[in-house]
Amino acid sequence: MENNKSEEKPLLFTLRGFHLSEDYGFLLPNPLSELPALYGPWMEIANNLPHLIQSHQLRSQVYKMPQLSSQHLKGHRELRLAHLALSFITMGFVWQEGEEETVKLLPRNLAVPYWEISQMLGLPPILVHADFVLANWKKKNLNGPLEIENLDTIFSLPGGESLRGFILVTCLVEKAAAPGLKAVVQAGNAILQPDKEALHKALQEMAKAIKEMTDALKRMHDYVDPAIFYAVIRIFLSGWKDNPAMPGGLIYEGVSDEPMSYSGGSAAQSTVLHAFDELLTIHHSKESTAFLHRMRDYMPPHHRAFIEEIQSAPSLKQHILSSGNEKLRIAYNQCVSILADLRTYHIAIVTKFIVIAAANAKAKKGKPSHWAGNFQINPPSSLQERGTGGSGILSFLKSVRDTTRAGIIQG
């Protein structure tokens, strides 16, 4: 039977089938940074956000914006750039005055096209990881490498070099994951064949990629100032769901009379770790799983489909358990262990950039000239121990790390 070609099982899937590339992973390859001239009014504002926010002029500029139709946008990359631009404008508009004077309504000249573009892309009308990181990068020298010295963001918000560093380091973590996604596909296909050697090699490649992700994440210390991240940047990544500063959500004028609630940006919106968790059959707690699954609604549909494809495929863990193959068990455990290490490192970053930064900001509160660089520090109190996605951050991250570690197959 085994030699009969017609009986050979089909390959599970390819990266290309999900609009993913071997080089870029989930990053949008070579995002556009210009829209057609018709959309000049959007781009003019989006390209000048730090100044408009810091001089308290953004809201008045938005109210003056002409109402533009989204129907002249052509193709996926123009839509992604438009979503990125309107997401940045929306975050600046909502949080221009900090959490003291938020708005209850997004005006129709912004809300209607933003909603239409979101519907076309299958994304929510709020800044998501797929905008902020995946579509917000460009090379300074087009022929140069995808390295931080040769990269810049397309749009910015208050936070200067620290914001740029935060976005671009995260971008490089996503790039480091690309060989790991290729390995996920190879592992899935090797199980179907079945091909022990190919599976072993895929697991080794995956472990190597996860380690590279941790190494990329370490550069956060070099490029981001914790005081600026905590007190200046974070509020602009906050949403209007489970946020005491905006308990009623936000009305998108011309879309619905009822306010809508959406979560802010979160690393949990990155598809990478969801893909690894599914392949390795890592089971998180009920509460963590509910939050992680809710974050999938904030991913581009083809990224979400990639996770679902892995989920519906034969179980890697079962395959290794039933094969009794020691070499595969060791390679699998190495992936799980290195994934737990990445999560431990993420906890250390969050502790430094949020928990310790919160304590420092609290200690300095009330002192007259509390500035970090050019930014007056006025940290958002509603975010003190929470992630911008709305999770109780350290307990969530520790729980997810511990359930990862529990995935080890005992010998």
Query: Which residues does the annotation place in the binding site for heme b?
Result: 346
The answer to whether 93 and 62 have CB atoms below 8 angstroms apart is: yes
Binding site: what residues are annotated? Answer: 346
Instruction: Read off the tokens for 183.
Output: 């390995």
- Residue 45's identity, in one-letter code, is I
What does the alpha-carbon distance between residue 48 and residue 166 come to, in Å, rounded to a whole number? 19
What does the alpha-carbon distance between residue 347 and residue 58 come to, in Å, rounded to a whole number? 35
Alpha helices in 122-159 (DSSP H): 129-132
Evaluate the CA torsion angle 105, 110, 115, 116 in order and state its sign: positive
Nearest to 172 by CA among 221, 132, 212, 124: 212
What does the alpha-carbon distance between residue 309 and residue 286 come to, in Å, rounded to a whole number? 22
The answer to whether 191 and 199 have CB atoms below 8 angstroms apart is: yes
What does the alpha-carbon distance between residue 382 and residue 287 come to, in Å, rounded to a whole number? 21
DSSP strand E in 141-290: where?
A: 151-152, 251-252
Cα angle 30, 110, 75; round to 5: 30
Question: Tokens 């520790």 sit at which residue?
Answer: 398
- Kindly state the helix (H) or strand (E) to which residue 275 belongs, with its residue range: helix 271-280
CA distance between the termini of the chain: 33
Cα angle 97, 101, 107; round to 5: 90
What does the alpha-carbon distance between residue 403 and residue 411 come to, in Å, rounded to a whole number? 18
Helices and strands (H and E) in the chain: how many: 17, 6
Beta-strand relationship, 251-252 and 105-106: parallel
